[in-house]
Structure formats: structure tokens, C-alpha cells
Structure 1
Amino acid sequence: MELNRFEQGVQKLAEVDGTAGENVINALKDIAPDLGRYIVEFAFGDIYCREELNLPEREMVSLSSLLTQGGCENQLEVHINGALNVGITPNKIIEIFMQCIPYIGFPRVLNAVGVARKVFATHKEAVR
């Protein structure tokens, strides 16, 4: 039986974020349930399920994109956690940020490193 976009998205979200993704969806149920559904269906059911990039590659792109936008610390926290969950090491996450310094500058990278420090301290797999 073929899964619908939402079911497929829920499975992929759990693969990336474990229970953290479910917590985000539940947090949106009372205020913006459609937003939660769109995130699951489109981002995880459609985009994350494409075969051209694997999950670590997708998380590296997500980290870089969020970092360059600035002001996305909450989402950066989610995706640092996701990156760790799919096998990206803390050192590699920091190196992704370092690579962006010439293009976006020190302030945004310093903010991202601060978020990473917080996630690494709480993530059970993050050993530096």
C-alpha cells in the first residue's frame, strides 16, 4: 500500500528528528494545524523523500541555508539536532559554519555556533 504525502512525511520527519519533529507538529495543532500539515507533507513528504540527496546532505544544505538567512535560531536548533541524528558529527557541523564565514560574516556564524553549543550539550550523541 502506498503512503500518502502526510504519512510519508511523518515517517521521514521521525527518521530525521526522532520525537522532536512530532513535538513541533503537536505544538502547532492548537494554533496553526495547517502549517504543521504543510511542513510534514511538503518539506518531509515531498522534498526530503527525493532520492538525489541523502539525509546528511539535506541537513548540511539546511544548516547552511538557515545560517545564511540569519534570525533562524529556532529552526537552526531543530536542524542541528537533525544533523546529529542522521550522523553528522559536531566537528562537521562547526566546519559547515566555518565555511560560511567568508560569505556571510562572523556575527551569523557566531550566533550559529552558540546554538550548536546548546544543542551539543543536550544531545545524547554529541561527543566532542
Structure 2
Amino acid sequence: MNSYENGKQIREQMVGKEKSQEISDSLSDIAPIIDEKVLLLFDENQKRSIISMKQREMLTLTTLATQGDTSYQLDFHIQASLNAGLTKEEIVEVFVHSLPYIGFPKTLNAIAVARKVFATR
């Protein structure tokens, strides 16, 4: 399996086949190269086995929350976090722990996205 196909398989494990295809479809007509680069990155990151997928997702949630205006990516990675084995409580705790460092607006935005994702599961 090549790096692209492996990255695609990893993304499907993260959020399911349907959501993964939805992402590819949303980029195919305007910027297919971005989808390709994302999949190659998923493959490359997974080759590094120093930290677990759960730990990777916790780090990703934190970095996305700190940036603000990342609701689409937070949605994706909250789903991926649940699929990696994080509980809803652990995901919320990531954002609660971030509060003194990133402030109320970014924390509340992240919690709002989490609430939306949790409601669908």
C-alpha cells in the first residue's frame, strides 16, 4: 500500500469512510492537492509510534482550540478523538485545562463544537 492509500485508510479509521469521502469530495473540484497532502501527512505521522493516537488527538484538540476559528477541524478531530478511545469527559477536560492559557472565548467555542459532535453520537 502506498503512502496516499495508507493515509486514506488512517483517515477512514479516524472518522469513518463516509466523512472521509465527504472531505475528499469537498476538495476535489477546487484543491485536490490539499486532500492529497493531508493524507500523506496522516501516513507520515502514523509511522512515528512514539505517542499513541489518543495522545495525538489530545494534542491536536489543544492546538486547534488555541487557534480559534477552527470549528470544521475541531469537529473532525473530536470525532477522531472519540474513535481513538477518548471519552467525552476527557475531551471536555482538554478544553477545561486549556482555559487559563487560551481564554474563555476559544474554550467556549471548542466546547460548543464538542456539544454538537456529542449530540450526533
Give the TM-score band, short-chain normalised. Answer: over 0.9
**Moved >3 Å (runs of 4+):** none
Using the TM superposition, give the Cα deviation of residue 49 of structure 1 relative to its aligned residue in structure 2, in angstroms.
3.3
**Which residues of structure 2 form unaligned runs of 5+?**
none
Secondary structure at 1:76 match in 2 = helix
Mapping of residues 75-114 of structure 1, within 5 Å: 75-114=73-112
**Which residues of structure 1 form unaligned runs of 5+?**
124-128
Using the TM superposition, give the Cα deviation of residue 80 of structure 1 relative to its aligned residue in structure 2, in angstroms.
0.5
**Aligned pairs, number:** 120
Secondary structure at 1:48 match in 2 = helix
1:19-66 Cα deviation digits (max 9, x unpaired) = 222220122111111111011012x11113321111111110110000
Give identity over the alignment, percent: 40
Root mean square deviation of aligned Cα? 1.0
TM-score normalised by L of structure 2: 0.94
Which residue does the alignment assign to 1:63?
61
Using the TM superposition, give the Cα deviation of residue 16 of structure 1 relative to its aligned residue in structure 2, in angstroms.
1.2
**Distance in 2 between residues matched to 1:74 and 1:26, nearest whole Å:** 15
Q: Is the 8 A contact 1:48 1:58 kept in 2?
A: no
Mapping of residues 34-45 of structure 1, within 5 Å: 34-42=33-41, 44-45=42-43
- Structure richer in helix, relative to its length: 2
